[in-house]
Chain A
Amino acid sequence: HDEYHEHDEL
């Protein structure tokens, strides 16, 4: 899956 996609929080 997209490498940085999970960092959708601040």
Chain B
Amino acid sequence: MNIFRLAGDMTHLASVLVLLLKIHTIKSCAGVSLRTQELYAIVFATRYLDIFTSFVSVYNTFMKLVFLGSSFSIVWYMRYHKAVHRTYDREQDTFRHWFLVLPCLVLALLIHEKFTFLEVLWTFSLYLEAVAILPQLVLLQRTRNIDNLTGQYIFLLGGYRGLYILNWIYRYFTEPHFVHWITWIAGLVQTLLYADFFYYYFLRFIGGRGVE
């Protein structure tokens, strides 16, 4: 565990807490893509299957449970909580997210480190996480007015990705044989998509209200 990894995890945790805060206290999910949140729930469900087979640390297991619980509860709130569901931008959130799942599954079956059930699903979760933000990106471009909490959520998610890349660079130089091409390329693609997000985020603050 290095400082970049810890900071990355804490930033990721903070992003989820900001989103839960918005949903819980303001009872609003305006500007939040349910499709992206559903993809994240699938990402964590398929990646953390190893919670039953491998133990890394109490920290790891605890964080896995937090991300699993929070992602599924966010989806539950947006789908089934009446007041929250009413604020959902259903007409705008139309990205065909299932069209992302199938290509990621095929890619994971073709390109992986080991052909085992858990390993292929773990690889699938990496590919899917890389593109899971796309429905949110499309929704952001359509809604134009994003509130502070949604903006902070996106900002923190992007920070988490950037810090993970610093973590990989650090680990590459400090740990022998730390080479994970699949993780790195998927992570890099994901970070580049977030860079696009940041572009809109800063436009929002520099240009005042709307994103043009």
Contact = CB atoms under 8 A, between A and B. Distances in A.
Interface string B15-30: 0000000000000000
Interface in A1-10: 3-10
A6 B63 CA distance: 17
Interface string B163-188: 01001000000000000100100000
Interface in B138-179: 164, 167
Contact of A4 (B54, B64, B180): B54
A10 to B, nearest CB: 5
Contact of B64 (A3, A5, A10): A10
Q: Is the interface of B mostly helix, strand, loop or mixed?
A: helix
B60 A10 contact: yes
Classify the interface of chain A: helix, strand, loop or mixed. loop
A6 to B, nearest CB: 7
A7 B64 contact: no
Interface string B113-127: 010101100100000
A4 B63 contact: no
B58 interface: no
Residue with the highest number of chain B CB atoms closer than 10 Å, among A7, A8, A10 = A10
A4 B5 contact: no
B50 A4 contact: yes
Interface of A: 3-10
Lowest 9 A-B CB distances belong to which pairs? A4-B54, A8-B56, A10-B63, A4-B50, A10-B9, A7-B50, A7-B122, A4-B53, A8-B60
